[in-house]
Amino acid sequence: MTSNEDRLENRAHRGLLPPRLLLFSLLAQIPLIFLRWPLRPAMAPVLAGSALLLAGVTLNLWADRLFHRRGAGVCPFSRVAALVREGPFRFTRNPMYLGMVLVSAAAPLLTGVYLDLWAPAALAIWLHFGFVLPEERFLREQWGAEYLLYASTHPRWIGLPGGDVPATVRRRA
């Protein structure tokens, strides 16, 4: 393992890991919920929140099972034996992070406290800069052109472009 890989793996073990960030995001929403008590959310947002919650949990479980089947580490910055490209990885390179953001975004819709949408936005930013971008560097170092080709054809988040992929790699896709 190179010193850069050691640094990234150690960083993942020292800091807050994504499941704890999700928990923090949900707990941070509680004060505004108490201020708005009793809650009377409208039916349409509750249905939308239920759909987001179901989608988020499904993405996380589906991606987790694929990781385990392929022998890939679920912990950020774990070395992987193979790039996982099937299942939810066909629409997003980060289905677990996306799932966590969806779960966090479900809470304000389910409670009707829309001001709490700041928490999933903050979670998405934290995950993006703290995990997604560093993991991409880690995977580029481990997999090189194979990862770059995958990244050039699959969005980082749903519907958003992949990022800094060299044009020569994009042309091969």
Q: Which CATH class is domain 3-172?
A: mainly alpha
> Residues 35-45: pLDDT tens digits?
888 888 899 99
What number of residues does the chain have?
Answer: 173
Going 11 to 14 to 20 to 21, the CA torsion angle's sign is negative
Calculated CA dihedral for residues 58, 61, 67, 68, nearest 10 degrees: -150
- The reported pLDDT for the residue numbered 31 is 92
Could you tell me the maximum CA-CA distance found in the chain, to the nearest angstrom? 57
User: In the structure encoding, which two tokens stand for residue 123, read together?
Assistant: 């979670």
Nearest of 7, 22, 17 to residue 124 by alpha carbon: 22
Contact yes or no for 147/83 (Cβ under 8 A): yes
| Mean pLDDT of all residues in 153-164 | 75
Contact yes or no for 106/24 (Cβ under 8 A): no
What is the rounded distance in angstroms from the CA atom of residue 92 to the CA atom of residue 38? 38
- The reported pLDDT for the residue numbered 14 is 53
Contact yes or no for 119/145 (Cβ under 8 A): no
> Residues 12-23: pLDDT tens digits?
445 778 989 999
| Mean pLDDT of all residues in 58-78 | 87
The pTM of this model reads 0.83
Contact yes or no for 155/92 (Cβ under 8 A): yes
User: In the structure encoding, which two tokens stand for residue 167, read together?
Assistant: 């044009």
